[in-house]
């Protein structure tokens, strides 16, 4: 069994993640037709996670 990571190791991994900011439509990632985005906020920290395509 592998050992658990430390808080710092998990944070380092999370800091390297890049979240998709486009919508997944018809088998591919696409920008909103309007070009508009909205902010996705981490509720635990209040920090910006990503700007996400505002599709309608």
DSSP 17-46: -----SEEETTEEE--TT--EEEEE-TTT-
State if pTM tops 0.75: no
Distance CA 33, CA 39 (A): 17
Domain that holds residue 52: 20-56
Q: Which residue has the tokens 């996400």?
A: 52
Query: CA 17 to CA 30: how far, in whole Å?
Result: 20
CB 47 within 8 A of CB 41: yes
- Per-residue pLDDT at 2: 77
In a domain, 1, yes or no: no
Q: Dmax over Cα atoms in the chain, in whole Å?
A: 49
Residue 9 lies in a domain: no
What's the structural domain count of the chain?
1
Per-residue pLDDT of the chain (56 residues; tens, 9 = 90+): 678 999 999 999 988 988 888 999 999 999 999 999 999 999 998 999 889 999 98
């Amino acid at each position: 069994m592998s050992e658990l990571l430390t808080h710092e190791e998990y944070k380092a991994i999370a800091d390297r993640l890049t979240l998709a900011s486009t919508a997944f439509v018809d088998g591919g990632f696409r920008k909103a037709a309007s070009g508009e985005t909205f902010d996705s906020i981490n509720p635990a920290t209040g920090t910006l996670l990503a700007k996400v395509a505002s599709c309608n």
